[in-house]
């Protein structure tokens, strides 16, 4: 059987990577070729993505792969959702794209809810309400950047835009389009109703293509610049969570997934969206998955809380590894302080330890003081939020969930994984760490005919990576803590 090589350009909110994947004898292996930081750029009081630097870093990764003299058969980019780039026929980028944490969207968000109403927006899109969604970013452009919007031909979300720079083909991949809150899951097209009612320019909305579409081939100019030969450029699941969920090594029924990184995305895979009042009331989202599936999930703040805290400690001269933070968390007092991870005060960057302390002070709890106490507070609070979300998913679907598959960078913390098992009262199975890159690569394999089905893809994952299991402990203590947590998040 022939070995197949693919390139995954995997962009997270904190870092980006160029990965080389090999499908050989029914198993996949990964090699990290190039990694680079991917933080926000602050310009005149706004948060932006330096998309040109990201593009250059990806080309650096391609050049390193070309030096290996390997016959690569495909490439694809995946990224976070909601953010986008505006461009036209003459100008490949009209402005540096805003980062979703920029506060410009709050007023348009409130105005849209008042004009259209949550019920109609949810019935039209099935997406959870967050002010960061593309819908409210575009409304902010209408209000404040009308001159730029007036000369734009199209917008593309981040991964789709980079696929466009590599291939010259502009289109919106379905899983990424579904994060915008302007996509209708019933028609599988843009919501013309919302576009017209909210006064968005219809011309800027690109063609939507299904997950797993070959959109073109690598441009001759990129081939010359990087040394990579002409290869297919695929829109796999351009949304990183969509790619990660495709690579969850689950079997049968009764399982949920948690993609654990900067954000925690917890949900179940369903054959159709849930567009009812109960789903809207719990603020769950229906995002498109591979093969026409739906990712019924909740997007909650994840390891962003710890990443920002660690950045603050480093600025103060305390360089503490994540392994050391795990150790200090285990040694700290249990359930001393709990937070609601989704409290709006935690959305913006900078001074996260002080924000956590202020939250605990305001809710009558001891303020966490040491890195270990803060880490334990974050981990326990995240684990308890997982319990809440799984309980709500069981209520919404009527299906019992007995296993939680955790994939992504968060699986590097055995402490958080054990807390997740303890808090949820369910078996936790962790791995693979690089689920997004695996999904990106193996959906390329499906697109190019080297694999046949999503089931076969997941068989490849199970064959390729060890899966670590965690069983719940201390049920009574965690139930008491959940009662405290529930009082905080009402």
Active site residue 147: no
Residue 80 has what DSSP assignment?
-
User: Do 41 and 199 meet the contact criterion of CB atoms below 8 Å apart?
Assistant: no
Residues ≥6 apart with Cβ < 8 Å to 420: 258, 382, 383, 386, 404, 406, 428, 470
Please tell me the distance from the alpha carbon of residue 356 to that of residue 20, in angstroms, as a whole number.
39
Determine whether 490 is exposed, middle or buried from the number of CB atoms within 10 Å of its CB (0-12, 13-18, 19+): exposed
The count of other CB atoms within 10 Å of the CB of residue 216 is 18
Q: What are the C-alpha distances in Å from 60 to residues 57, 66, 165, 440?
A: 5, 10, 15, 19
For residues 250 and 266, what is the distance between their CA atoms, to the nearest angstrom?
14
How many Cα neighbours within 13 Å face the side chain of 436?
28
Determine which one of 78, 83, 102, 240 is catalytic: 240
Using CA atoms, how far residue 19 sits from 5, 13, 58, 290, 338, in Å, is 10, 17, 10, 21, 37
Asked whether the bond before 432 is cis by omega within 30 degrees of 0, the reply is: yes
Residues tagged active-site? 240
């Amino acid at each position: 059987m022939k070995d197949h090589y693919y390139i995954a350009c995997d962009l997270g909110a904190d870092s980006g990577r160029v990965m080389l994947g090999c499908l050989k004898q029914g198993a996949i292996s990964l090699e990290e070729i190039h990694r680079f930081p991917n933080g926000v750029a602050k310009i005149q009081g706004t948060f932006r993505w330096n998309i040109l630097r990201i593009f250059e870093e990806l080309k650096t990764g391609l050049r390193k792969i070309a030096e290996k003299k390997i016959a690569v058969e495909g490439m694809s980019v995946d990224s976070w959702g909601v953010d986008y780039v505006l461009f036209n026929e003459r100008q490949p980028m009209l402005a540096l794209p805003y980062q979703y944490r920029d506060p410009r969207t709050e007023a348009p968000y409130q105005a849209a809810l008042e004009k259209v109403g949550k019920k109609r927006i949810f019935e039209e899109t099935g997406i959870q309400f967050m002010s960061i969604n593309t819908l409210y970013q575009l409304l902010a452009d209408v209000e404040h950047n009308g001159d730029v919007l007036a000369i734009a031909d199209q917008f593309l979300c981040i991964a789709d835009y980079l696929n466009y720079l590599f291939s010259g083909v502009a289109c919106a991949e379905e899983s990424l389009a579904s994060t915008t809150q302007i996509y209708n899951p019933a028609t599988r097209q843009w919501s013309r109703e919302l576009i017209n009612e909210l006064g968005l320019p219809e011309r800027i909305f690109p063609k939507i293509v299904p997950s797993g579409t070959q959109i073109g081939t690598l441009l001759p100019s990129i081939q010359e610049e990087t040394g990579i030969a002409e290869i297919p450029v695929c829109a796999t699941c351009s949304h990183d969570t969509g790619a990660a969920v495709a690579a969850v090594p689950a079997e049968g029924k009764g399982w949920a997934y948690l993609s654990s990184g900067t954000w925690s995305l917890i949900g179940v895979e369903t054959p159709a969206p849930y567009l009812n009042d109960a789903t809207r009331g719990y603020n769950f989202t229906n995002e498109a998955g591979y093969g026409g599936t739906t990712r019924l999930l909740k997007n909650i703040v994840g390891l962003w809380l710890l990443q920002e805290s660690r950045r603050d400690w480093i600025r103060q001269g305390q360089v503490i590894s994540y392994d050391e933070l795990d150790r200090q968390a285990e040694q700290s007092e249990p359930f001393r302080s709990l937070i609601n991870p989704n409290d709006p005060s935690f959305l913006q960057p900078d001074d996260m330890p002080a924000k956590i302390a202020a939250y605990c002070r305001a809710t009558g709890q001891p303020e966490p003081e040491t890195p270990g106490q803060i880490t334990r507070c974050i981990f326990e609070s995240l684990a308890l939020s997982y319990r809440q979300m799984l309980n709500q998913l069981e209520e919404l679907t009527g299906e019992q969930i007995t296993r939680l598959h955790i994939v992504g960078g968060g699986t590097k913390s055995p402490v958080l994984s054990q807390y997740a098992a303890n808090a949820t009262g369910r078996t936790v199975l962790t791995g693979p760490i690089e689920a997004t890159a695996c999904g990106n690569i193996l959906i390329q394999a499906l697109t190019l005919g080297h694999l046949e089905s999503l089931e076969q893809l997941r068989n490849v994952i199970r064959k390729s990576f060890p899966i670590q299991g965690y069983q719940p402990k201390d049920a009574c203590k965690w139930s008491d803590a959940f009662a405290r947590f529930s009082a905080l998040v009402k």
